[in-house]
Amino acid sequence: MSDSLSSTSHARLKDLLRDVVLAVEIAGPSSRLVRRLRMALEAPEPDADYDPTWPWAPLTAEWWKLAGNRHAATHEQVRFAAAWVSCGDATRAARFAGLAEGAGYHKQAGYRALRSVAVDKLLRAAVREMQSRRIPIREWKLQAYLYR
């Protein structure tokens, strides 16, 4: 029964794609519809989870990746540290990093991540980098890493 269902679904999908191709041919390559379809179907960038709207500032996502490699941090720890530097809130940073995703205990996950060795090294490296670039450190929680 599932084979017949999948074959009918496959046939419907083929019909739908044929209609889309026909609509694209009629609309032309410079139409708004075709441009929107092209944008929706473009291949994701190598770092597909990078959201350009997230404020990685004051440091770049590339800097965080390099620092994470230098300090043997996991991808989640790098995302957590970057978010924590940006917002100063461990719960928001844990949610952004995807820590405790299934259980939903973001506050506890943020507390644990903030006290991990790799995140501590990343935060100290971020403070040193911000000092070397003469970026002002306004967050008082981050200023504590000046003296570690």
The pLDDT of residue 19 is above 60: yes
Is the sign of the CA dihedral 51, 55, 61, 65 positive or negative?
A: negative
Could you report the per-residue pLDDT of 98-148, keeping only the tens digit for each?
887 767 788 899 999 999 999 999 999 998 898 888 877 776 666 666 566
CA-to-CA distance for 37 and 136, rounded, in angstroms?
43
Confidence of residue 36 (pLDDT cuts 50, 70, 90): confident
Could you report the per-residue pLDDT of 52-86, keeping only the tens digit for each?
546 567 788 888 899 999 999 999 999 999 988 88
pTM, full prediction? 0.60
